[in-house]
Chains A and B, each alone.
Chain A
Protein backbone atom coordinates (compact mmCIF):
# COMPACT_ATOMS: atom_id res chain seq x y z
CA UNK A 1 0.00 0.00 0.00
CA UNK A 2 1.28 3.43 -0.94
CA UNK A 3 0.75 6.44 1.26
CA UNK A 4 1.42 10.15 1.49
CA UNK A 5 2.26 10.29 5.17
CA UNK A 6 5.80 11.52 4.60
CA UNK A 7 4.62 14.33 2.34
CA UNK A 8 1.81 15.36 4.69
CA UNK A 9 4.20 15.23 7.61
CA UNK A 10 6.77 17.38 5.80
CA UNK A 11 4.12 19.96 4.89
CA UNK A 12 3.49 20.47 8.58
CA UNK A 13 7.16 20.30 9.54
CA UNK A 14 6.54 17.29 11.78
CA UNK A 15 9.08 14.65 12.65
CA UNK A 16 8.18 10.96 12.66
CA UNK A 17 8.14 11.17 16.44
CA UNK A 18 5.65 14.06 16.29
CA UNK A 19 3.32 12.09 14.04
CA UNK A 20 3.76 8.96 16.15
CA UNK A 21 2.76 10.89 19.25
CA UNK A 22 -0.31 12.30 17.52
CA UNK A 23 -1.41 8.84 16.41
CA UNK A 24 -0.33 7.18 19.69
CA UNK A 25 1.95 4.65 18.02
CA UNK A 26 5.69 4.09 18.03
CA UNK A 27 8.00 6.07 15.77
CA UNK A 28 9.05 2.75 14.29
CA UNK A 29 5.47 2.12 13.16
CA UNK A 30 5.33 5.47 11.37
CA UNK A 31 8.68 4.73 9.73
CA UNK A 32 7.53 1.28 8.63
CA UNK A 33 4.27 2.65 7.19
CA UNK A 34 6.04 5.44 5.31
CA UNK A 35 8.50 2.99 3.80
CA UNK A 36 5.67 0.68 2.77
CA UNK A 37 6.95 -2.15 4.97
CA UNK A 38 3.81 -2.24 7.09
CA UNK A 39 0.17 -1.54 6.29
CA UNK A 40 -1.81 0.28 9.00
CA UNK A 41 -5.02 -1.15 10.35
CA UNK A 42 -8.31 0.51 9.45
CA UNK A 43 -8.66 2.29 12.82
CA UNK A 44 -5.15 3.71 12.49
CA UNK A 45 -5.79 4.77 8.91
CA UNK A 46 -9.00 6.51 10.02
CA UNK A 47 -7.08 8.19 12.82
CA UNK A 48 -4.53 9.51 10.35
CA UNK A 49 -7.30 10.72 8.04
CA UNK A 50 -8.96 12.61 10.91
CA UNK A 51 -5.62 14.10 11.93
CA UNK A 52 -4.85 15.40 8.46
CA UNK A 53 -8.52 16.21 7.77
CA UNK A 54 -8.48 14.23 4.57
CA UNK A 55 -10.26 11.19 3.19
CA UNK A 56 -8.52 7.85 3.77
CA UNK A 57 -8.19 7.17 0.06
CA UNK A 58 -6.43 10.51 -0.38
CA UNK A 59 -3.71 9.37 2.02
CA UNK A 60 -3.53 5.61 1.38
CA UNK A 61 -3.63 3.90 -2.02
CA UNK A 62 -4.12 0.16 -2.40
CA UNK A 63 -1.78 -1.13 -5.09
CA UNK A 64 -2.39 -4.88 -4.64
CA UNK A 65 -3.69 -6.67 -7.69
CA UNK A 66 -2.51 -3.95 -10.05
Chain B
Protein backbone atom coordinates (compact mmCIF):
# COMPACT_ATOMS: atom_id res chain seq x y z
CA UNK B 1 0.00 0.00 0.00
CA UNK B 2 1.21 3.47 -0.84
CA UNK B 3 2.16 5.23 2.42
CA UNK B 4 1.52 8.61 0.80
CA UNK B 5 -2.09 7.60 0.31
CA UNK B 6 -2.29 6.43 3.90
CA UNK B 7 -0.88 9.71 5.18
CA UNK B 8 -3.62 11.69 3.39
CA UNK B 9 -6.37 10.56 5.79
CA UNK B 10 -9.14 11.28 3.32
CA UNK B 11 -11.91 10.62 5.84
CA UNK B 12 -10.35 12.87 8.47
CA UNK B 13 -9.76 15.59 5.89
CA UNK B 14 -13.42 15.52 4.83
CA UNK B 15 -14.57 15.58 8.46
CA UNK B 16 -12.33 18.57 9.14
CA UNK B 17 -13.77 20.39 6.10
CA UNK B 18 -17.29 19.78 7.34
CA UNK B 19 -16.28 20.99 10.79
CA UNK B 20 -14.91 24.23 9.39
CA UNK B 21 -18.11 24.83 7.41
CA UNK B 22 -20.24 24.23 10.51
CA UNK B 23 -18.10 26.66 12.50
CA UNK B 24 -18.34 29.33 9.79
CA UNK B 25 -22.11 29.01 9.52
CA UNK B 26 -22.46 28.93 13.32
CA UNK B 27 -20.42 32.12 13.68
CA UNK B 28 -22.52 33.77 10.97
CA UNK B 29 -25.69 32.67 12.74
CA UNK B 30 -24.51 33.89 16.14
CA UNK B 31 -23.30 37.12 14.65
CA UNK B 32 -26.57 37.77 12.85
CA UNK B 33 -28.46 37.04 16.06
CA UNK B 34 -26.36 39.49 18.06
CA UNK B 35 -26.75 42.09 15.31
CA UNK B 36 -30.53 41.68 15.06
CA UNK B 37 -30.88 41.73 18.84
CA UNK B 38 -28.78 44.85 19.29
CA UNK B 39 -30.40 46.56 16.31
CA UNK B 40 -33.81 46.06 17.91
CA UNK B 41 -32.61 47.09 21.38
CA UNK B 42 -30.88 50.26 20.20
CA UNK B 43 -33.32 50.95 17.36
CA UNK B 44 -30.68 51.09 14.67
CA UNK B 45 -33.16 50.51 11.86
CA UNK B 46 -35.37 53.35 10.68
CA UNK B 47 -38.03 51.01 9.35
CA UNK B 48 -39.75 47.82 10.42
CA UNK B 49 -38.95 45.92 7.22
CA UNK B 50 -35.24 46.26 7.97
CA UNK B 51 -35.82 44.68 11.37
CA UNK B 52 -37.68 41.84 9.70
CA UNK B 53 -34.89 41.53 7.15
CA UNK B 54 -32.30 41.15 9.92
CA UNK B 55 -34.45 38.44 11.52
CA UNK B 56 -34.80 36.72 8.14
CA UNK B 57 -31.01 36.85 7.71
CA UNK B 58 -30.61 35.24 11.12
CA UNK B 59 -33.08 32.53 10.16
CA UNK B 60 -31.29 32.00 6.85
CA UNK B 61 -27.89 31.54 8.49
CA UNK B 62 -29.55 29.18 10.97
CA UNK B 63 -30.78 27.07 8.07
CA UNK B 64 -27.20 27.13 6.78
CA UNK B 65 -26.00 25.66 10.08
CA UNK B 66 -28.60 22.90 9.90
CA UNK B 67 -27.73 22.02 6.30
CA UNK B 68 -24.00 22.04 7.03
CA UNK B 69 -24.59 19.71 9.98
CA UNK B 70 -26.75 17.37 7.90
CA UNK B 71 -24.00 17.15 5.25
CA UNK B 72 -21.53 16.40 8.04
CA UNK B 73 -23.74 13.58 9.34
CA UNK B 74 -24.22 12.08 5.87
CA UNK B 75 -20.48 11.90 5.38
CA UNK B 76 -19.70 10.26 8.71
CA UNK B 77 -18.74 6.62 8.85
CA UNK B 78 -21.13 4.12 10.41
CA UNK B 79 -19.68 4.21 13.92
CA UNK B 80 -19.74 8.01 14.08
CA UNK B 81 -23.26 8.07 12.66
CA UNK B 82 -24.35 5.62 15.37
CA UNK B 83 -22.78 7.82 18.07
CA UNK B 84 -24.42 10.94 16.61
CA UNK B 85 -27.81 9.23 16.31
CA UNK B 86 -27.75 8.13 19.95
CA UNK B 87 -26.71 11.59 21.11
CA UNK B 88 -29.41 13.27 19.01
CA UNK B 89 -32.06 10.84 20.24
CA UNK B 90 -31.08 11.52 23.82
CA UNK B 91 -31.10 15.29 23.25
CA UNK B 92 -34.54 15.21 21.62
CA UNK B 93 -35.93 13.04 24.41
CA UNK B 94 -34.50 15.21 27.15
CA UNK B 95 -35.67 18.30 25.28
CA UNK B 96 -39.23 17.00 24.99
CA UNK B 97 -39.53 15.66 28.52
CA UNK B 98 -37.54 18.52 29.99
CA UNK B 99 -39.52 21.04 28.01
CA UNK B 100 -42.88 19.81 29.29
CA UNK B 101 -41.56 19.57 32.84
CA UNK B 102 -40.18 23.10 32.52
CA UNK B 103 -43.54 24.28 31.25
CA UNK B 104 -45.30 22.70 34.25
CA UNK B 105 -42.84 24.33 36.62
CA UNK B 106 -43.59 27.70 35.01
CA UNK B 107 -47.36 27.12 35.13
CA UNK B 108 -47.25 26.08 38.78
CA UNK B 109 -45.07 29.04 39.68
CA UNK B 110 -41.93 27.15 40.71
CA UNK B 111 -40.06 28.90 37.92
CA UNK B 112 -40.82 32.60 37.70
CA UNK B 113 -38.30 33.91 35.22
CA UNK B 114 -38.74 31.57 32.27
CA UNK B 115 -36.01 31.65 29.66
CA UNK B 116 -36.03 29.89 26.30
CA UNK B 117 -32.25 29.72 26.47
CA UNK B 118 -32.55 27.36 29.47
CA UNK B 119 -34.08 24.69 27.23
CA UNK B 120 -31.64 25.35 24.41
CA UNK B 121 -28.72 24.91 26.78
CA UNK B 122 -30.25 21.73 28.20
CA UNK B 123 -30.69 20.20 24.73
CA UNK B 124 -27.24 21.29 23.58
CA UNK B 125 -25.58 20.09 26.77
CA UNK B 126 -27.33 16.73 26.54
CA UNK B 127 -26.27 16.31 22.91
CA UNK B 128 -22.63 17.13 23.70
CA UNK B 129 -22.65 14.77 26.68
CA UNK B 130 -24.15 12.05 24.48
CA UNK B 131 -21.42 12.46 21.86
CA UNK B 132 -18.70 12.47 24.54
CA UNK B 133 -20.06 9.28 26.13
CA UNK B 134 -20.29 7.63 22.73
CA UNK B 135 -16.71 8.53 21.84
CA UNK B 136 -15.44 7.20 25.18
CA UNK B 137 -17.51 4.02 24.85
CA UNK B 138 -15.92 3.11 21.52
CA UNK B 139 -12.43 4.28 22.37
| A interface residues, Cβ below 8 angstroms from B | 12, 14-15, 17-18, 20-22, 24-26, 28-29, 31-32, 37-38, 40-41, 44
CB < 8 Å A-B pair total: 53
Q: A17-B6, A18-B1, A18-B6 are in contact. Are A25 and B77 (CB under 8 A)?
A: yes
- Against A, the Cβ 8 Å flags (1 = close, 0 = not) of B61-102 are 000000000000000011110100000000000000000000
Question: Which listed residue, B1, B9, B10, B139, touches A28 by the CB 8 Å rule?
Answer: B139
7 contacts between A and B (CB under 8 A): A17-B9, A20-B9, A21-B11, A24-B11, A25-B11, A32-B138, A37-B137
- A residues near B77, Cβ cutoff 8 Å: 24-26, 29
What is the chain B residue whose CB lies nearest that of A22?
Answer: B1
What is the chain A residue whose CB lies nearest that of B5?
Answer: A21
Query: A1 → chain B, closest Cβ, in Å?
Result: 14
B113 within 8 A of A: no
Judging by beta carbons under 8 Å apart, are A29 and B1 in contact? no
- A residues near B78, Cβ cutoff 8 Å: 25, 29, 40-41, 44
Main DSSP-derived SS at the B contact region: helix
Q: Which of B3, B5, B138 has the most CB of A within 10 A?
A: B138
What is the chain A residue whose CB lies nearest that of B6?
Answer: A18
Question: Which listed residue, B6, B15, B79, B135, touches A21 by the CB 8 Å rule?
Answer: B6
